[in-house]
């Protein structure tokens, strides 16, 4: 498969995921809830940071209390701005991980519905919710540490003339896109009992397809409100891509098969739920 075609395969699953939730409106609304909750929490935290950044800057620079104007204002104003920008940066890079953690039961059910619409058995971890949340939080922290490592490395490379202003930003989006795709595919892969190390190996095996999925989504996720509305389709598309990566469906297959099976919200009791596979 040529590089451009592989990139196109990844992007195709991103588009197909959005189409899938578009055809199943109830699942789209179901999948919006975690993103909206997380967005409200983040907005509240950023508002609090905005009000407290001045005090934090003053607390961090006691040595400047006796400075005359305008130097005191310039120092603390600059530090206040940097604190808020840093908080905004953290919000952007952690939004997906926190949303997936908050919405674990929601997105797992959505991912199951996508699998069901494709036919065959629907993998389920069989783990209690608290255990799934722990694994998700642990793996998200590990991924965040990897992202931080690459972020520091790319920041240092940013001081290289020309390369730092051209190649490094492009690499930064590729790194972010890869790990964003990892976070999203983890919903389906965790149900299949695939550990983080195996997930990373699987994704590296189709790196260009993963980048074709993750990089456009990273660019869109720079706008938090857009991230909220794209999250349900992103989870659906990631599930479709997982099926391809694991050979459960061909790259040409779309989410059109058996739509009616995936269009219903999960049953709440009885024996109408999905089949369990051994973990």
Residue 275 lies in a domain: no
Q: Which two tokens stand for residue 30?
A: 């179901």
Residue 163 lies in a domain: yes
Contact 174, 10 (CB under 8 A): no
Closest residue by Cα to residue 126 from 185, 31, 192: 192
Q: What is the pLDDT of residue 133?
A: 75
Dist CA 105 CA 125 (whole Å): 12
Q: Which domain holds residue 44?
A: 3-253
- The HSE-up count of residue 240 (CA atoms within 13 Å, CB side) is 32
Residue 268 lies in a domain: no
Closest residue by Cα to residue 53 from 80, 74, 26: 80
Provide the residue count of the chain: 279
Q: Which two tokens stand for residue 120?
A: 């065959």
Residue 56 lies in a domain: yes
Q: What is the pLDDT of residue 127?
A: 66
Dist CA 217 CA 234 (whole Å): 8
Dist CA 146 CA 216 (whole Å): 20
Secondary structure (DSSP) of the chain: --HHHHHHHHHHHHHHHHHHHHH-HHHHHHHHHHHHHHHHHHHHHHHHHHHHHHHHHHHH-GGGTTPPTTHHHHHHHHHHHHHHHHHHHHHHHHHHHHHHHHTHHHHHHHHHHHHHHT-S--------HHHHHHHHHHHHHHHHHHHHHHHHHHHHHTTSTTHHHHHHHHHHHHHHHHHHHHHHHHHHHHHTT--HHHHHHHHHHTHHHHHHHHHHHHHHHTSHHHHHHHHHHHHHHHHHHHHHHTTSS-TT--TTTTHHHHTSPPPSSTT-SPPP---
Contact 24, 69 (CB under 8 A): no
Q: What is the mean pLDDT of each run of 10 residues along the chain (279 residues)?
A: 78 94 89 89 86 81 80 81 75 78 86 85 70 78 81 78 80 88 90 87 90 90 82 93 79 43 41 34
Q: What is the pLDDT of residue 269?
A: 36
Residue 80 lies in a domain: yes
Predicted TM-score (pTM) of the model is 0.72
Residue 185: what are its φ and ψ, rounded to 5°? -70, -20
Question: How many structural domains comprise the chain?
Answer: 1
Residue 181 lies in a domain: yes
Report how far apart, in Å, the C-alpha atoms of 186 and of each of 46, 63, 71, 193, 196 are: 28, 48, 49, 10, 8
Q: What is the pLDDT of residue 58?
A: 81
Residue 220 lies in a domain: yes
Residue 212 lies in a domain: yes
């Amino acid at each position: 498969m040529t590089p451009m075609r592989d990139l196109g395969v990844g992007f195709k699953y991103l588009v197909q995921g959005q189409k899938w939730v578009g055809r199943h409106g109830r699942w789209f609304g179901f999948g919006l809830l975690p993103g909206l909750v997380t967005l409200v929490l983040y907005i509240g935290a950023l508002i609090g940071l905005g009000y407290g950044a001045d005090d934090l800057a003053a607390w961090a620079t006691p040595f400047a209390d006796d400075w005359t104007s305008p130097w005191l204002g310039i120092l603390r104003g600059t530090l206040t701005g940097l604190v808020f920008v840093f908080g905004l940066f953290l919000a952007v890079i952690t939004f997906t991980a926190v949303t997936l953690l908050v919405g674990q039961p929601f997105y797992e059910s959505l991912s199951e519905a996508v699998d069901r619409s494709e036919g065959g058995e629907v993998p389920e971890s069989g783990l209690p919710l608290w255990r799934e949340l722990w694994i998700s939080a642990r793996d998200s922290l590990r991924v965040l540490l990897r992202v931080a490592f690459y972020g520091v490395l790319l920041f240092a490379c940013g001081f290289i003339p020309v390369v730092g202003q051209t190649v490094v930003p492009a690499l930064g989006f590729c790194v972010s896109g890869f790990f964003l795709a990892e976070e999203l595919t983890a919903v389906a892969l965790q149900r299949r009992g695939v550990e983080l190390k195996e997930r990373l190996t699987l994704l590296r095996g189709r790196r260009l397809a993963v980048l074709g999925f993750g990089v456009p989504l990273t660019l869109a996720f720079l706008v938090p409100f857009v991230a909220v509305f794209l999250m349900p389709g992103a989870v659906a598309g990631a599930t479709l891509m997982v099926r391809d990566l694991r050979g459960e469906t061909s790259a040409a297959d779309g989410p059109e098969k058996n739509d009616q099976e995936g269009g219903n919200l999960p049953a709440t009791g009885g024996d109408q739920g999905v089949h369990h596979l051994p973990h």
